[in-house]
Amino acid sequence: MIELLLSSGIGVLTAGGVWLCLRRRTFDVVLGLTLLSYAVNLFIFAMGRVRVGALPILRPGAAPTLEHYTDPLPQALVLTAIVIGFAMTALLLALSLKGRFARGEDTCDDAPPPPEEYPR
């Protein structure tokens, strides 16, 4: 049951992220990229074998195999990805705000404003 819930959550986050990335506003694109990074983090975390009650550390008397333990490497990778994703989101928000104030609009189209509207 937990596998179905986890895979459904990953699918919903991915679908929402792709839908937001295809919109015209820069803030929607930033939110879409954030949702996609959450989906990838959950996917990496799920690769570490989701087991209820399994310890990520070795204990005496049990063989050191993945049959008895949860793999701690995906947990460490997800923790690192969360920090990198937070920094990426902050940078993208700063760039989108700069573009918003420089252009006077919040769209991602290719048409630049006329030259007289550029800030000096």
Q: What integer pLDDT is reported at residue 55 of this predicted model? A: 63
Domains of the chain: 2-52+69-103 (1.10.287)
pLDDT digits (tens, 9 = 90+) for 104-118: 778 776 666 556 655
Strand partners, 25: 107
Q: What integer pLDDT is reported at residue 37 of this predicted model? A: 94
Q: What integer pLDDT is reported at residue 13 of this predicted model? A: 96
The candidate with the shortest Cα–Cα distance to 41, out of 22, 14, 18, 69, is: 14
Average pLDDT, the chain: 82
Query: Tell me, what DSSP letter sits at residue 118?
Result: S
pTM of the model: 0.74
The Cβ of residue 17 has, within 10 Å, a number of other Cβ atoms equal to 21
Query: Tell me, what DSSP letter sits at residue 92?
Result: H
For the chain, helix (H) and strand (E) counts, in that order, are: 3, 0
Indicate whether 42 pLDDT > 80. Answer: yes
pLDDT digits (tens, 9 = 90+) for 78-109: 899 999 999 999 999 998 888 888 877 787 76
